[in-house]
Amino acid sequence: MRGRFAPSPTGDLHPGNARTALLAWLQVRAAGGTFVMRVEDLDRGRVRPGLMEAQLLDLRWLGLDWDEGPDVGGPHAPYLQSQRQDRYEDALGRLGEKGHLFACGCSRKDIAAASSAPHAGDDEGPRYPGSCRDLSAGELRGRQHALRFRAPAKPVAFTDLVHGPVVYKPADETGDFVVRRKDGVASYQLAVVVDDSAMEITHVLRGADLLPSTARQILLYRALGLAEPAWLHVPLLLGPDGERLSKRHGSVALREIREAGAEPEALVGWLAATCGLAEPGEACTPHELIGRFSAGDLSRESTLLSAPGESSTGGNAPQEAFGTLPREGQSDE
Catalytic positions are: 247
Q: Taking Cα atoms as reference points, which of 49, 77, 41 lies closest to residue 191?
A: 41
CB atoms within 10 A of CB 49: 7
Q: Is 161 left (phi over 0), alpha (psi -120 to 50) or beta?
A: alpha
Kindly report the length of the chain: 333
Sign, CA dihedral 200-26-251-211, equals positive
Q: How far apart are the first and last CA of the chain?
A: 47
**93: Cβ contacts below 8 Å, ≥ 6 apart:** none
C-alpha radius of gyration, the chain, whole number: 21
Residue 84 and residue 80: Cα distance in Å, rounded? 7
Q: What letters, b where the CB count within 10 A reaches 16 and e where it falls short, cover 250-272?
A: bbbbbbbbbeeebebbbbbbbbb
Q: Taking Cα atoms as reference points, which of 195, 190, 196, 87 lies closest to residue 147?
A: 190
